[in-house]
Amino acid sequence: MTQEPTPIAYTGLATGTPVQASDGSEFGTVQAVLDVPDLDVFDGIVVLTDAGSTFVDADQVETITTAYVRCKLTPDEARALPEPEAAPTYSVDAHEDIGNSLGDRFRRMFGRGNWKREQ
């Protein structure tokens, strides 16, 4: 007898959990769980697929278990999911932020220096 996976809350969902379409076919793995912490509301998941990251809205998630996440989407709908939208993130390369002149030091202390916006 095969034991069914245990349903869990979105807060217990682990990165790397398989994500399935409504027919049970796997189309990716959980990359991130999105929520609104102040309201304790589940917003959706970011799914890593062969084509890149996609966003599955909370309304499209049917079941979250210890073994998988099952969505209400057909395989075709899953392939057409949009990329996640997020606020821009910035990074800095410490090797590019060098220099001993007074101007270089002021840029490091008061400016963004060589920060780059990630796409």
Q: Which tokens hold the place of 109? A: 């202390």
CA distances from 72 to 11, 40, 76 (A): 20, 22, 12
Is the predicted pLDDT of residue 26 greater than 70, yes or no?
yes
pTM of the full predicted structure? 0.69
- Sequence spans of domains, the chain: 10-79, 87-119
Domain spanning 10-79: which CATH class is it, in words? mainly beta
> Residues 41-80: pLDDT tens digits?
999 999 999 999 999 999 999 999 999 999 999 999 999 9
* 81-94: pLDDT as tens digits: 988 876 555 555 55
pLDDT score of 12 more than 90:
yes
Please answer whether residues 38 and 90 qualify as being in contact, where contact means their C-beta atoms are separated by less than 8 angstroms: no
